[in-house]
Structure formats: C-alpha cells, structure tokens
Chain A
Amino acid sequence: MHEIDLMPARLAAFLQQHRDDVELIEVTEYETMAGGYSRSMAKARVRYTSDGVVLEETLVLRGDPPPGHSMLDTDRDHEWAVLRSLTELGVIPIPAARYYDETGEHLGTKAIVMDHVTGGSLQSLIEEMSDYGDHPTRLAELWGQIHCITPDQLPDAMPRPPSWEARIDHLIQLWRDAETSSVNSDPTWRYIAAWLAANKPPPLPLRLTHGDPQAPNVMIDHEDNYLVVDWEFASIGDPREDLGWYNIYSTAAGPNLYEADPEAFLAAYRAVTGFSEVEVNQLTVGYFTILSSMKILGPINAQLDKFALGENSGTTTALQVGSISFGHDNFINAINGMQAAIDAMAQAQGATS
C-alpha cells in the first residue's frame, strides 16, 4: 500500500485471485486517503470486464502503516475476524468487508479491502451543524445496538473476561502497567488507577464493545444510514466502556452529541439495551470515560515512548503528546467532580439513616 505507483497493478492482481468469474480487472485510479489516523487508508476505482460488459466500483483499502511510523499498533487479523463475524450476524450496519491480504504479500502490508461508502462521516456532517436534529438519539441507539450483541454471538478467538470484576480490574491494571512501562513517570495515571479501584460502579453484563466509538468512525451512506467502521479495538467488555470513550474523544474533537443533552442520550441508549438507570447514568459514564481511555491512550503512549527512544517518528505520533495531556487535564477535573458527587450522596444517605 505504501508504494503507490505499484498499487494499481498489485490490487488488480489481488482482486483477480478472488474473482475468477471476471475476465479482466483493472484499477483505474488509486489514491491515499486522509483521515485514517491509526491505519493507512486508500481508495481505488476498479473496472470489471466480462463478456463485453463493464462494471465499475470504488473500494477502500485499510492496512498497516510503514514500520516505525505507526501512531498505535493493532492487529489486522483480529479486525478481520470481527468484521467477518459482524457481516455474518447482519445486525450492525457496516460497510461489507470483502477480502483480506493476511500476509501482506499481495498488497505490501496486511490489508483489508472493503466497500466504499459514498457519503461522508458523521463527524464531517455534524461539524457543519448548529442543530443536531435526531443525530444524538440515533447515535445513542447505534451504540445500544452494538451493546446488545452477547459474547456467545462473537468469534471464539475474541478473549472472554472470566467476570465483570475481572474485566474492570484488567482495565485498571492497564493504567498501572502503562505507567510502569513508560519512559515517563506519571503521577496522574497512578492517582487515577487508585481512584478507579476505590470507586467501582454497579456491574453490567459483558457485551461486544467497539472500542473506538466516535463520530469519524460512523459513515453515512446516500440513503442516510449509519455504518460503523474501524473495528480494530473491538472486544468483549462492559458496554459503558464505549460510552465513556465516545464522551472523552468527542470532548477532545467535538461536537459531543452526548454532552449536548446527556439525560436524553442515555434514555435513548437504555431504551435499546434495557439497562437500568442505576447502571447507566452520568456518574457511571463519567467513571468509564476515565477507565476505558487507557485502552487507546496506552498504545498511543507506547508509540510516544518509542518516539522518545528513537524507534518511531512522524507528526501524527508527535501530536499525541497533546492527547495524553488532554487526558490528564480532563480526568483530574472529572474525578474531582465525581468525588464531590459521591461524597454528597454519601452525606445525604447518612442524614436519612
């Protein structure tokens, strides 16, 4: 994917292997795409000719960046397995995943070939809006749809936490491990880990989580349907992990459709999932806004460590120093606010008992 001049011929040959029903496959246009932060993305115009009939379509390629230029490392095999599983389930709207070069021998890097969505992303749409209309409700319902998928519907290869408690403890441990292994000593992360361990919320059943739910990962097709992309962080976890990550990401790169009206957003979400208000409320979302962030901040920080050690480079990676510090600022203030709310509730309970 990184040798652009070679890609039209390479891609055509790769597609031909999967389409022996087509006489001739030509890639007439190939261009890299901006917007794929963690992966290399490209768009290709493909022409199929058989018995004098010509058909054309656009495909998207999603592959690993060149070595030493990755903002974070994720597993294409895992992403492909999740995509295949979701395609078979047919419950979550996603662009169809077509083919996978699992070794990189054909496309130059491990790469997934998928349908191109003609519309833009939800992010590009709502950035231009002053009134978000029904998008907050639709987005809450979309996250809810994902969280209705139970572990038994997912590939065996996806790790299953033994219990909710074990999942939460694992996520808290990610904070400690990321700090311990980093070139920087980070007292904020250590404080966060201790606070999270002391303030666990009520449990929820474990479900499919997207792992990186954000408006840029929701495409809108020409019929106004939402399609969810970028499943590289998908796992089995507490559904509120996704609500929390959506909240912090959208605070950093808004608009934040949850923050616009949290109660309405959560009511729409609860209506789809059947979760209770005790389990899903602003306080528990606040907890998971912090807790789940390390799933992505950890890998990002690991790449920044490599940068500091001279093993990685690139402006996209360098820019992530801001992501880490943005997290510090927001998490410390969020904990202050949540601790005040917890103390007030405890005081009120003490007064009534």
Chain B
Amino acid sequence: MIVLPTTPQLLRDVRNELAHTVAPEVHGAVARVALEQIDIILEQCAVRSADEIAWMVEEIAEMLAYADDVAAATGDEATAAALVAARGNAAGTLHLDDMAHDYTLSSEALSCAIEACMADPDRSDLLRRGVEILRLRRAERETVVRANWRLVGRG
C-alpha cells in the first residue's frame, strides 16, 4: 500500500485544483454554490481522515471508563446493560465501519450514564465529568472537523 502522499494531502490537492482550475470556468450561481460546498466538505474529509480512527479509539475507552464508574456508583441498570452491549457486541477492529459501530455502542453507554446522573441530585460531580466529556472531548473535536464550515448559498 502506498501511504504517502496521505489521504489529507490528496484531498487538499483536489481542493486546490477545483479552486484554481475549475472554479474560474464556472459562472452559474447554482454551480458556484455547489463548488463552494464541495470545497468545505473536502476539507472536512481531510481533517477527519487524518485522525478519526485514533480519536474514536481514545473516546471509546474514555466513555466506557466513565460509564463503568457511574454504573458502580449508582447501580443504574440501563447503564450496566449498555456497557454489557458495548463490550459484548464490539467488532473490535480498526476498520472504519467497525470503529463507527463500536463508537455508537459506547456512546449509548455514555448517554445512559449521564441520564442516570441527571436523575440523581447526589451525583453532580459525576454528571459534571460526563458533561465535560461531551464538551471538551466530543464537541471540541467536532469543531476541529467542521474546519472551514459555513452555510454557503443562503439568502
């Protein structure tokens, strides 16, 4: 497998070609909007392809560890069941489809754990930890992946 140039490098080269070779020849308003949207999506794909497998591996471990702590502290049945499902049904490979599947299962465990903490006023510290996973891990990485995103073509 030829790994260099990397996928992000190839995608950004396509962006460059579209911007400097194709775009100047495109004059219709609808097509120009589509080109601008394509440019944004290509950059988002470049960012994702560089890191998404590593990020999912990290986040799955973090989500399951958090859900373990919540299940131990609260005895919440939904969280415990989601943990069993996440571990029992995990595909366990680094292939993208498998990672997405495992990430979804782990996300369900995180959801259940946060809901259990919301329902229990004595678990505010654990709730804060869960919300920080949403805010500082997921949302911040999603912000990186949004890249140059904007709602082009409106109004």
Interface residues of A (CB under 8 A from B): 32-35, 37, 120-124, 179, 183-188, 190-191, 194-195, 198, 215-216, 252-253, 315-316, 318-319, 321-323, 325-326, 328-329, 332-333, 336
Cβ A190 vs Cβ B155 within 8 A: no
- Cβ of B110 < 8 Å from any Cβ of A? yes
With the chains together, A34 CA to B32 CA distance in Å?
9
Q: Are B151 and A34 in contact (CB under 8 A)?
A: no
Q: Which residues in A have their C-beta under 8 angstroms from that of B105?
A: 185
Interface residues of B (CB under 8 A from A): 29-30, 32-34, 37-38, 40-41, 44, 63, 104-105, 107-108, 110-111, 114-115, 118-119, 130-131, 133-135, 138-140, 142-143, 145-146, 149-155
A-B contact count (CB 8 A): 110
The minimal Cβ–Cβ distance linking A6 to chain B, given in whole angstroms, is 18
What is the CB-to-nearest-CB distance from B65 to chain A, in angstroms, rounded to a whole number?
A: 14
Of listed B115, B140, B152, B154, residue having the most chain A CB within 10 A: B154
- Pairwise interchain contact A188-B153, C-beta atoms closer than 8 A: no
Q: Could you write out 30 A-B pairs with CB less than 8 Å apart? A: A34-B32, A34-B33, A35-B154, A35-B155, A37-B151, A123-B155, A184-B104, A185-B104, A185-B111, A187-B63, A187-B110, A187-B133, A188-B134, A191-B111, A191-B114, A191-B118, A191-B131, A194-B115, A194-B119, A216-B155, A253-B150, A315-B34, A315-B37, A319-B37, A322-B40, A322-B146, A325-B139, A325-B143, A326-B146, A333-B139
Contacts of B40 in A (CB 8 A): 319, 322
Contact B44 A323 (CB under 8 A): no
Contact call A186/B107, Cβ cutoff below 8 A:
yes
Whether B111 and A37, one on each chain, are in contact in the complex, defined by CB atoms closer than 8 angstroms, is: no
Question: Would A216 and B145 be within 8 Å (CB), given that A185-B111, A194-B114 are in contact?
Answer: no
A336→B135 contact, CB < 8 A: yes
Chain B residues with CB under 8 Å of A188's CB are: 134, 138-139
Cβ contact within 8 Å between A332 and B131: yes
Known contacts A185-B107, A187-B110: A37-B38 contact under CB 8 Å:
no
Partner of A325 from the list B37, B108, B131, B146 (CB cut-off 8 Å) is B146
A319 touches B107 (CB 8 A): no
Please give, as numbers and ranges, the residues of chain A lying within 8 Å of B150 by CB-CB distance: 253, 322
Contact A328 B139, beta carbon cutoff 8 Å: yes
One of A183, A186, A315 near B38 (C-beta < 8 A): A315
Task: List the A side residues contacting B32 at CB < 8 Å.
Answer: 34
Residue from the set A123, A216, A322 with the largest chain B CB neighbour count within 10 Å: A322
Q: Is the interface of B mostly helix, strand, loop or mixed?
A: helix
Given A328-B138, A332-B135, answer yes or no on A253-B151 (Cβ-Cβ < 8 Å): yes
User: Which B residue's beta carbon lies closest to that of A184?
Assistant: B104
Known: A123-B155, A185-B105. 15 other contacts (CB 8 A): A35-B153, A122-B155, A186-B107, A187-B111, A187-B114, A188-B138, A191-B134, A194-B114, A194-B115, A215-B155, A315-B34, A319-B37, A328-B138, A328-B142, A333-B135
Query: Could you tell me the distance between the alpha carbons of A315 and B40 in the complex, rounded to whole angstroms?
Result: 10
| CB pair B145 A325 closer than 8 Å | yes
Q: A32-B30, A194-B114, A194-B115 are in contact. Are A323 and B135 (CB under 8 A)?
A: no
Distance between B37 CB and nearest chain A CB, rounded to angstroms: 4
Residues of B close to A120: CB separation below 8 A: 155
Within 8 Å by CB of A329, from B34, B37, B142, B151, lies B142
Residues on B with beta carbons closer than 8 Å to the beta carbon of A185: 104-105, 107-108, 111
Contacts of A328 in B (CB 8 A): 134, 138-139, 142
Instruction: Check A191–B130 contact: CB distance below 8 A.
Output: yes
Q: How far is the CA of A34 from the CA of B37 in the complex (A)?
A: 13
CB distance from A185 to the nearest CB of B (A): 4
Bound complex: CA of A253 vs CA of B33, how far in Å? 15
Q: Which residue of B lies closest to A121 (CB)?
A: B155
Q: Which of A34, A215, A321 contacts B153 (CB under 8 A)?
A: A34
Closest to B153 in A: A34
* 8 pairs of A and B residues whose beta carbons are closest in the complex: A216-B155, A123-B155, A322-B149, A325-B142, A185-B107, A315-B37, A190-B111, A187-B111
Q: Nearest CB to that of A189 among chain B residues? A: B111
Bound complex: CA A126 to CA B32 (Å): 22
Question: Which residues of chain B are near A37, meaning CB under 8 Å?
Answer: 151, 153-154
If A187-B134, A188-B138, A328-B138 touch, does A323 touch B151 (CB 8 Å cutoff)?
Answer: yes
Q: Which residues of A contact B34 (CB under 8 A)?
A: 315
The answer to whether A216 and B130 touch (CB under 8 A), given A185-B108, A328-B142, is no
